A and B are shown apart, each in its own frame.
Chain A
Amino acid sequence: MAFVTKNVALEFGCARGVKVVRTFKETLVRYKLRQLPLHLDVSMEETQFMKVMTWLQDSSIAIWVAESETIWAYPTMLTLHTFGLAILVGSNAVIDFRLLGFSRETPIPPLKKLFGPMWVALAINAITGVLLFMSGARVKGLVIMLYVKLVFVALALLVLLRIRRIVFESETRPEAVTSPHASWLAALSLCLWAAATLSGRMMAYWDWSFGEY
């Protein structure tokens, strides 16, 4: 079965991403149709994971996000998610660029005030992210790029906490601020956010999947 799944993915140009341009939804529908006989061969029973995904997707809030006619549902969740990205990553980029040596005239301690908006933006993105996930949990729960993105976001947040600790909470060691260690963390932070942005966007295009839905 794994063999057939791989072939289907290749046939749709998912793995290479060159042959066919098709919307994600279309691909999923086709993929699903192809998979149907395989399911019949193996078993009609759903995994525990898919039962949870179904329960999430069938919740009233998920149905509202996915199917409501108003722009306040899915489109607004997407837009808020992008606002959160711009504020969280944009502010983090200001800190990173300063630590990398740009605009040395900018004193570093006042940059600590950026953490307020950044945490608010993170909260917005966690909430809208969960809602967007729930709106199509049965499909999105199997999208590999989503988990790749979450790993990058988690690593970027860990780096951010580390920067906060060594740069903004070290009144006793002001030299830490300009240490090479801080610049390396700043460069790593920018790379991780770029990777998170890339994998988030590619959720819609690189439809590598854990398979069975």
Chain B
Amino acid sequence: MTFTQWIEATTLSETLRSIRWLWQWAETFHFIGLTLLIGFVGFLDLRLMGFMQGVPISAAKKFMPWAIFGFALNVVTGLSFFLTFPARYTDNGAFFAKMLFIVIAGLNALFFETRLGARVLAIGPNDDPPMSFKIVGTLSIVSWLAVLYFGRMLPYLWQGIL
């Protein structure tokens, strides 16, 4: 029995499959979650890249709980997709590309918090951020847009890799 088959056989997976309205509502909230995530993270990223001057970086960061809320919404709904039909994802290259970019975006955010976080307050609302900030901001927005890209293209890209 493969890992995928084992998941499919669990009671949880069977229950999720039996709830007919679940998939469409999970998709809707997955879209709402991605909108919040891209909107609020993108806003901070733009500021880190040197756009949106006049906004202190610390102020843009105050929206991050809502980005995390959007991400959490997508983890929950995303897990419901995976547990309902695991074979659709474990057999799909775009799914792994998406997961890879989530990891890259996460590590990038962690690097920003732990290594650059202390310098945020030293940068004025109208200052052009240092190059390290611009790189982190660019990497962040590119990674999250890649997550969106591979997620939406999932049914069309690199199916049947197993």
A residues with CB within 8 A of B = 17-21, 71, 75, 78-79, 82-83, 85-87, 89-94, 97, 102-103, 105-107, 109-111, 113-114, 193-194, 197-198, 200-202, 204-205
Contact = CB atoms under 8 A, between A and B. Distances in A.
20 contacts: A17-B21, A71-B153, A71-B157, A75-B152, A75-B156, A79-B149, A86-B34, A86-B35, A86-B38, A89-B35, A90-B38, A90-B40, A90-B43, A93-B36, A97-B66, A103-B63, A105-B59, A106-B62, A107-B54, A113-B52
Interface string B24-63: 1001100110111111101100000001111110111011
Interface of B: 20-21, 23-24, 27-28, 31-32, 34-40, 42-43, 51-56, 58-60, 62-63, 66, 125, 145, 148-149, 152-153, 155-157
A93 B40 contact: yes
Chain A interface helix/strand/loop/mixed:
helix
B36 A90 contact: yes
Given A71-B153, A90-B40, A201-B27, A106 B55 contact: yes
Contacts of A87: 38-39, 42
A111 B52 CA distance: 7
